[in-house]
Structure 1
């Protein structure tokens, strides 16, 4: 247990650089052994001052670098399938940021590849499951003292969208966290998606349908509504309220201390997800490192990543077609059956 887990980080952008910092300075039991990014200068900048790191522009070169025993994938979503399959071929445990694979066909190929191995290697980065407030909400629901959950009301707001962000990406990227959170909190699968568009905000780039209102139906009869607004302008807000038969529970309403000054009282609103979910990311990576050092993989599975991709695709169909879109999942491999042994 004294040996540090050597991690190859794929992607040195905003998310990847933050994970490099986290592994180097926050999480014990691991070290950054290699980093890969098509932009070699960006990769080198991300690991500046960290000893013993090799810098690469190709994924496989980083995976084969000396001392690499695990992989953290923080590259753009379209590169995830190739990286996951390469890690599987080497028997390396993986923490893969969402979306696991943007398209459901590719996500299913990852599921099938891992199922053929007969053991889990991938944990998918749905960090809401590691947030203390969401964990508290999950505990209340699982206790059952409020009765059956009937509805979830969710809000997902960003200050602004990055260049090139499309209307479909509000669902494929932003909504994917709510999709997984709903499945996890309720223990139910999503069966249909309806996307409704109000008029676009004047703060949204031309042609971007923002905000969007999404309704998810589940196989347990619950309804989940989500406001996705990625150019709200004032801060990063994530909230969730569960309405049950005998009560309700809300999270995400008080991000910081209440400050009174100049005749006004207010709380600071975080500017991005790395601030709001900083502790959740720390706990997520720490849990992954601890499990990997013991030869285990826990947390959200490749099946969870696949299910999120299928639901997101249905959401895009509803967005473009203007109608309710049904969700159809492939048969679940035994490796991902509820209660299956973690290996």
Structure 2
């Protein structure tokens, strides 16, 4: 087990900058050594707040550098394939923020490449940043459902609301690909099975969304075992960041992400802060601060130990495949089946690349 993992962060937007602060100050056995971003001025400014951290405008230079042991990718999804494959070629563990890639085909290429690495070395190198799996409430919910005391899980109801989106180009399709993708992973995580179909419904949009943007959206997932998942995603709710989930099983239900007693309502107060009798979190960094810390710490610990932990490249691919079907449904309004390859064929292909003993 290595004493310290030297980590480089690619992408210094909101999420990347948050990871930089996390790695520099809150993660044990990790040393932040480099940041990379095409905006070299922003990267240099961020690095200057931390002694010994260098900056570069070239993500691939950071990934292949000898002073970097492992990489956090917080770059835009359209560059993830190139950057993740570069990490695999360099033999470096990578924590890749969602989405893994922008489409199923490129995500599948990453799955195959990571399986080949695992076949050759005994461990995969890709972890995908579905941090809700590390959130204490979601982890507890998974434990309760998996324990069997409530019987078979029948339904999930997910709510995912943002106050607003900072990107004026955040279109309807991005709500599916960049926001709903979390609910996809939650459904797979809690049911322990795949999503087999998705239908995205388009209510009358809020007047506060950009012109032409369908917001909110309601998505229905059908699970492999017949369970149903309802999902509301509303990215311009004006109130704050609300994420909650209710699981309905044969002998009871469990709700997370909301106060435990009393009437629950939200409103925009006079000072512009969303309230429920307490303050609604402003954004995902506040709501899931603990989850992010636990996720990155678990990843660093696994890198030190030479093991793997958390959502895999397959989880990233499966979520992308559901999102791909979801975008097709958004366009048609129809129920769309999810097209997934057979994971057994991937395992067989990876096994065939092993050298004979």
TM over 0.5: yes
For 1:336 and 1:275, the matched residues in 2 are separated by 42
Task: Name the structure 1 match of 2:271.
Answer: none
3-state DSSP of counterpart to 1:266: coil
Task: Assess if the C-alpha contact under 8 Å between 1:93 and 1:122 holds in 2.
Answer: yes
Task: Assess if the C-alpha contact under 8 Å between 1:34 and 1:65 holds in 2.
Answer: no
Task: Name the structure 1 match of 2:161.
Answer: 157
1:271: how far off?
0.8
1:48 aligns with 2:48: yes
Correspondence 1:125-204 to 2 at 5 A: 125-161=129-165, 162-204=167-209
CA 320–181 in structure 1, closer or farther in 2 if over 3 Å, else same: same
For 2:227 and 2:202, the matched residues in 1 are separated by 22
Task: Name the structure 2 match of 1:340.
Answer: none
Aligned partner of 2:332 among 313, 321, 340 = 321
Task: Name the structure 1 match of 2:270.
Answer: none
Structure 1, unmatched stretches of 5+, are 259-263, 338-343
Q: What are the Cα deviations for residues 272-330 of structure 1, in whole angstroms up to 9, with x where unaligned? A: 00000000000000000011011112110000000000000100000001111011201
For 2:276 and 2:183, the matched residues in 1 are separated by 30
Correspondence 1:219-258 to 2 at 5 A: 219-254=224-259
1:49: how far off?
2.7
Task: Name the structure 2 match of 1:57.
Answer: 57
For 2:201 and 2:4, the matched residues in 1 are separated by 49
1:32: how far off?
1.1
Task: Name the structure 2 match of 1:105.
Answer: 105
Residue correspondences, number: 330
Task: Name the structure 2 match of 1:5.
Answer: 5
Task: Assess if the C-alpha contact under 8 Å between 2:128 and 2:312 holds in 1.
Answer: yes
1:95: how far off?
0.5
Task: Assess if the C-alpha contact under 8 Å between 1:96 and 1:123 holds in 2.
Answer: yes
3-state DSSP of counterpart to 1:206: coil
Runs of 4+ aligned structure 1 residues displaced above 4 Å come to none
Task: Assess if the C-alpha contact under 8 Å between 1:156 and 1:229 holds in 2.
Answer: yes
3-state DSSP of counterpart to 2:277: strand
For 1:336 and 1:268, the matched residues in 2 are separated by 51
Task: Give the structure-2-normalised TM-score.
Answer: 0.90
Task: Assess if the C-alpha contact under 8 Å between 2:36 and 2:58 holds in 1.
Answer: yes
Task: Name the structure 2 match of 1:213.
Answer: 218
For 2:116 and 2:213, the matched residues in 1 are separated by 41
Q: What are the Cα deviations for residues 176-211 of structure 1, in whole angstroms up to 9, with x where unaligned? A: 110001001100100000111110101111111000
Task: Assess if the C-alpha contact under 8 Å between 1:254 and 1:267 holds in 2.
Answer: no
Task: Name the structure 2 match of 1:341.
Answer: none
1:3: how far off?
2.9
Task: Name the structure 2 match of 1:281.
Answer: 292
1:267: how far off?
1.3
Task: Give the structure-1-normalised TM-score.
Answer: 0.93
Task: Name the structure 2 match of 1:261.
Answer: none
Task: Assess if the C-alpha contact under 8 Å between 1:12 and 1:43 holds in 2.
Answer: yes
